[in-house]
Amino acid sequence: MSVRYRRQEIIKGFDQNKLKKAHVAVLGSGGLGSAALYYLAAAGVGKISFYDADKVEESNLNRQILHFSSDIGRYKVDSALSKLKDLNPEIEIEGYSIKIDSESIKEIGKPDIIVDALDNFKTRFILNDYAVKNRVPFLHAAVESLEGRLSFVVPFETPCLRCIYKALPPRREIPVLGATAGILGTMEAIEVIKFLTGIGNTLKGRMAIFNFKTWDVRIIYMERDPHCDICGMPR
C-alpha cells in the first residue's frame, strides 16, 4: 500500500490499481474542470488528458481554482499543468490547448471515461455525439448561480444529452458562484472514481439537481428517447 493513497486504499472494496490503469479525458479546465482535475490527479488516475483553448482571465478567478492571479494571460493548460504535476508527479497528465469542435474532438481518442467540464451546450452536444458514436461513457454537469445538475451518460444504455435536451439554449453570460462549480466538479470526480474502481452505484440514467440556495435536491429518473437523432436509431 502506498503512502500517498493509503487513506483511500483502506476504503472497503477500493482498488487503487484500477485507477492507476485508467485513462480519463476532461473537457475544460474552468470552474468544473478545476475541481474535477484536482481530485482526479490527487486520487492517482494513471493517465489524464485535458483540453482547454482559453487563456486565464481575471474574471475566471472567482471559480477556476486551478488558476491564480499570477497566471493571468497564460494558457490555462500550462497554468493547470504546473499545479497538477506538482500535486501528483506520479501520474501521466497532458493538457491540450485545442478548441473543441466536431473535427478536433477526434483528438481525444477513446479514453475510459470523459468528464464534461464545459461552459456551453453547443460544445456539450459535440461531446455527446462523439461519446455516443464511440461508446465512451461520460459525466455531464452544468451550473448556474447556486444551482447545479449532474448525470452519468452511458451510450445506448442511458439517455444521452440529446434525449434530455431538445434545443440548444441561447449562449449568454451565466452567473456562477465558484463554490457551486467546485461542488459539481468534485461530484464528477467522485462518479469517475466510483465507475473506474467499481464501488457504489453511479448516477447512470438519473439526474441529480441541486439548489444550494434552498437545499432543494431532486434525483430524477430519465428514459431514453427512442426517436433520438443520436442514440435512438439502430446502428
- Footprint on this chain of Zn ion (rule: CB under 5 A): 160, 162-163, 228, 230-231
Q: Which residue from 64, 40, 62, 60 is spatially nearest to 50, judged by alpha carbons?
A: 40
Q: How far is the CB of 225 from Zn ion (least distance, A)?
A: 6
Residue appearing with cell numbers 466510483: 194
Q: How far is the CB of 86 from Zn ion (least distance, A)?
A: 40
Give the nearer residue to Zn ion in terms of CB position, either 65 or 153. Answer: 153
Give the nearer residue to Zn ion in terms of CB position, either 6 or 122. Answer: 122
Q: How far is the CB of 232 from Zn ion (least distance, A)?
A: 6
Give the nearer residue to Zn ion in terms of CB position, either 139 or 196. Answer: 139
CA dihedral 7, 13, 19, 25 (to 10 degrees): -110
Give the nearer residue to Zn ion in terms of CB position, either 41 or 160. Answer: 160
Q: Which residue is nearest to Zn ion (CB)?
A: 228
Give the nearer residue to Zn ion in terms of CB position, either 57 or 229. Answer: 229
DSSP character string of 156-192:
TTS--HHHH--SPPPP-PPPB-HHHHHHHHHHHHHHH
Radius of gyration of the chain (CA): 17
Beta carbons within 8 Å of 210's beta carbon, 6+ residues apart = 147, 148, 149, 150, 183, 184, 216, 217
The three-class DSSP label of residue 28 is coil
Give the nearer residue to Zn ion in terms of CB position, either 100 or 230. Answer: 230
Q: Which residue from 108, 159, 117 is spatially nearest to 139, judged by alpha carbons?
A: 117
Q: How far is the CB of 28 from Zn ion (least distance, A)?
A: 22
Query: Strands, E, within the chain: which ranges?
Result: 23-27, 47-51, 92-96, 113-116, 138-144, 147-153, 206-211, 216-221
Q: How far is the CB of 112 from Zn ion (least distance, A)?
A: 21
Q: How far is the CB of 226 from Zn ion (least distance, A)?
A: 9
